[in-house]
Amino acid sequence: MQFKTLNIAIIGIGNTIRMDDAAGIIIGKRIAEILETDFFEETTVDPGLLDLIDKYELVVLVDSIKTGRNLPGTLFEFSVETLGKPQTGFGPHRRNLPAVIELARNAGIDVDRKLKIYAIEILENSQFGENLTEAVKKGIEPAVAKIVAEINDTIK
């Protein structure tokens, strides 16, 4: 099901050797395969994403989240406005998505219109391993189906 009417990029964020932290990457790859669109695998959110956000008409970012308050495999959609304030300071781990969004806005990029943000609740990302936990694994295909349907609705 290729969409030639909209230039779409899917960005999967995570770490493939930190168990469930790979979920965003796995979901993103699957979405890109279904939509036959560009996929980018990232381990962090940093200002380098600005080029992708600017280049594409729609950017779908998929990451993992570990709140401990939701069932593993639960999918969340976040709006650009609800992400909170950018973190400040220096160092590779002091950059975050709100900071990148603020930089994009300052560069004149319409992130509110272009960026869709999803995260799947995970169980384990503190141990090394290349397998997802069963609970997260069960949430992958439902998450993919929901995001693909929402992208389809967006471009209609």
Q: What's the CA gap between 4 and 1, in Å, rounded?
A: 10
Summarised one tens digit per residue, pLDDT across range 19-68 is 889 999 999 999 999 999 999 998 877 777 888 888 899 999 999 989 88
Number of separate domains in the chain = 1
Q: DSSP readout, 51-90?
A: HHHHH-SEEEEEEEE--SSS-TT-EEEE-GGGG-PPP-SS
The reply to whether 42 falls in a domain is: yes
Summarised one tens digit per residue, pLDDT across range 54-103 is 889 999 999 998 988 999 999 999 877 676 565 555 444 445 777 777 87
The reply to whether 133 falls in a domain is: yes
Asked whether the predicted pLDDT for residue 3 surpasses 50, the reply is: no
Q: What's the CA gap between 144 and 32, in Å, rounded?
A: 10
The reply to whether 135 falls in a domain is: yes
Adjacent-strand bridge partners of 75: 120
- CATH code at position 49: 3.40.50.1450
The reply to whether 88 falls in a domain is: yes
The reply to whether 2 falls in a domain is: no
The reply to whether 147 falls in a domain is: yes
The reply to whether 1 falls in a domain is: no
Q: Which residues contact 152 (CB under 8 A, 6 or more apart)?
A: none
The reply to whether 92 falls in a domain is: yes
Domain enclosing residue 117, as ranges: 8-155
pTM of the model: 0.84
